[in-house]
Structure 1
Amino acid sequence: MPKISVIMPIYNTGPQLYKTLMSLLGQKEKDFEVLMIDDCSTDELTISTEQTFSRFDSRFKLFRQDHNLGAAECRNLGIQKSSGLYIIFLDSDDLFHNDLLLSMSNTLDQANADVCVCNLLMLDTSNNETSPIRSKRISGITDRVFSLEELGEDAFSFWMPVPWNKMYKRSFITENNLYFQTLSNCNDFFFGYMSVIKANSIVYCYDERPLVIYHVNNAKQISYQFASRNIFKAFSL
């Protein structure tokens, strides 16, 4: 059983996919598996890149959906196929710092928590501007293992409802039946909010460096245009 399962939905990300997979290949922590869930990509570069990595390194496991079902169903399939002690999600055009898997898994090992949160850097690919995003540090609480109740009114200013700056115990996800909803966009909000509500123990990885580089592009911006509508829809299903 690998220590960490990295779950990655893939759909026509072309040249960026190679950089993303290389950021995993360069991780200091070597005990991981990568579940590449291809959502019926048609781009030859995407297909050849994922096939090359799966042939080159047995840790990179390729699964192809029979139909184009969206990122949510890809992540759900990844959860079903995963075997690691911990789970983390990565978009196929984003990057992990080479310390990420080691730092976050060590933090979870030491804390025995359900969820670990880290800093991230948002990169706007239209102008190459960067914005570091750090969760609010709450003295006496977030410098140790904590829960939602302890955060009080700071809970949702601390907790971004996205999966890509968090590492989870796989047993926590499966035992609480957490899943991604198949909405046209913002399908990660339900998972993000329910995970903080269900978590008995949360720990913050205090590394000042952003450990995730999240690329913001036109496609991602469009997918969040109707965020408020879909947040309400997520919790009404």
Structure 2
Amino acid sequence: MSDFVVGGTVNAAWSGQPQVLAVRGSVSMPQTPNGSLIVGYFNQAQQNNEGRLTFTSGSSAPTNARVPALARMISVLTANWQANNLTLTNTSLNAATPIFVQAFGPGIPSMQPGPLTIGTPVQLAMRQAVQGITTPNWMQLEFSSSTSNQQVVAVVGGPLDQSGNNAYVIALNAPSGDTGPPPGNPPPDGFYATAAGNRYTMSFNWGAAIVYVVNLSPQTATPVTTLLQSL
């Protein structure tokens, strides 16, 4: 179940839990992580109403994001708001455009992740998450699907890069084909990498660290199998 925030009101103590925002409704996270936070949002309008979600943080200018109408796939914004506050407001033009929002990441209390154990495959349904601890050597995350439908997963962990990011969004069965990371073909905006097929592997060496994985695939997709391996 998701709490409903009516128009003109603000949940000023939003912790990332699932909420549905009526037009002019807002949620505000008092302090974001000083690392990447994944925000998912989804247009629940029954009519062909494109939505708009406005993000503000600190003293920065508002950022508007399109929220596609009639889509059955969650949209994703990944950013590091550097421990500032974060406010999301439904600024859609049509009043019949509720927007679902949820935040994902390690320690975000909106979702209790399941265990991710080295060497044990785990299946993740839409908006399910797992979390595990890596060992101080090269590791590999493998994602696979049993269908040819597009799937999207996000990984959070490891050191921040120069832009302050430590989240990685990956698509399987992607229309863009095989892209990223460098020196591969540039991936679509917001993605770390995409795969033309139904399998992708990500290698990394983050020392002994927490790794967090969440499935952000469309509603119609089958579960994604995730496997953490020590190399």
TM-score by length of 2: 0.35
More strand by share: 2
More helix by share: 1
